[in-house]
């Protein structure tokens, strides 16, 4: 269920804020807005995935990255990523590092459109998550190779943004999940 009062930050293609909009309206009307995505890796390089809860307003019951969301007005992307990590996965005090951002547009979500400047964060975590069941139906650890195989064999079991996020990560991560130093702006071809 989406909070009808929650606002997202509208941005231009350079990630410059240009206004605010209700979250549902931004997705319904395909307005470019700021988002955050987090991927946590364990010490062996496996990534923590979540299966979105069935009650989510879009992409319910699909596998996705560790967590994602939208910065609130006057909230930094880093703070939003930490907040969503706590709210969705019950993980607090996990250091995360910004590894860049990319713009993507995805349709095929019913009447909704994802058009986002996605700020990407990675971190290390080895303990179990404690997810909110209203946000997360289940979770699992897998290697990036296993995830790429899953995406190839059953793409409709995953969120539309996950392959785009992985394409971005392919440009910014070493094979062991450690981030390269990257510029603040990258893009992923449609």
Give the residue-averaged pLDDT of 62-72. 96
Question: Would residue 160 count as lying in a domain?
Answer: yes
154: Cβ–Cβ under 8 A, 6 or more apart, which residues? none
Question: Would residue 157 count as lying in a domain?
Answer: yes
Q: How many residues does the chain have?
A: 190
- 68 carries an active-site annotation: yes
Segment holding 165, helix H or strand E: helix 161-172
The residue from 67, 68, 82, 94 that is catalytic is 68
pTM over cut 0.75: yes
The residue from 82, 94, 114, 116 that is catalytic is 116
Number of domains the chain is built from: 1
pLDDT in tens, 82-117: 999 999 999 999 999 998 899 999 886 678 899 999
Lookup: tokens for 32? 């470019």
Q: Which residues are 47's β-sheet partners?
A: 41, 142
Rounded Cα distance, 151 and 140, in Å: 15
The CATH number of whichever domain residue 114 belongs to comes to 3.90.79.10
Question: Would residue 189 count as lying in a domain?
Answer: no
- 116 carries an active-site annotation: yes
Domain that holds residue 26: 7-172
Question: Would residue 122 count as lying in a domain?
Answer: yes
Rounded Cα distance, 89 and 73, in Å: 22
Question: Would residue 2 count as lying in a domain?
Answer: no
Distance of CA 85 to the CA centre of its chain: 10
Question: Would residue 135 count as lying in a domain?
Answer: yes
The burial class, CB within 10 Å (0-12 / 13-18 / 19+), for 91 is buried
Kindly tell me if the per-residue pLDDT of 1 is higher than 70: no
Question: Would residue 110 count as lying in a domain?
Answer: yes
């Amino acid at each position: 269920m989406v909070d009808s009062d929650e606002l997202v930050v509208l941005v231009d293609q350079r990630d410059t804020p240009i206004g605010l909009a209700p979250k549902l309206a931004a997705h319904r009307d395909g307005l470019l807005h700021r988002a955050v995505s987090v991927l946590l890796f364990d010490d062996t390089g496996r990534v923590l995935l979540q299966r979105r809860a069935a009650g989510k307003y879009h992409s319910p019951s699909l596998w996705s990255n560790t967590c994602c969301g939208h910065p609130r007005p006057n909230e930094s992307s880093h703070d939003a990523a930490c907040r969503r990590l706590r709210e969705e996965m019950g993980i607090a005090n996990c250091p995360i590092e910004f590894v860049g951002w990319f713009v993507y547009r995805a349709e095929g979500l019913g009447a909704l459109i994802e058009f986002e400047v996605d700020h990407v964060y990675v971190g290390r975590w080895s303990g179990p998550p404690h997810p909110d069941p209203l946000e997360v139906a289940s979770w699992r650890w897998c290697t990036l190779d296993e995830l790429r195989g899953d995406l190839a064999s059953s793409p409709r079991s995953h969120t539309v943004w996950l392959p785009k996020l992985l394409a971005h990560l392919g440009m910014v991560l070493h094979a062991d999940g450690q981030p390269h130093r990257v510029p603040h702006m990258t893009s992923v071809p449609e």
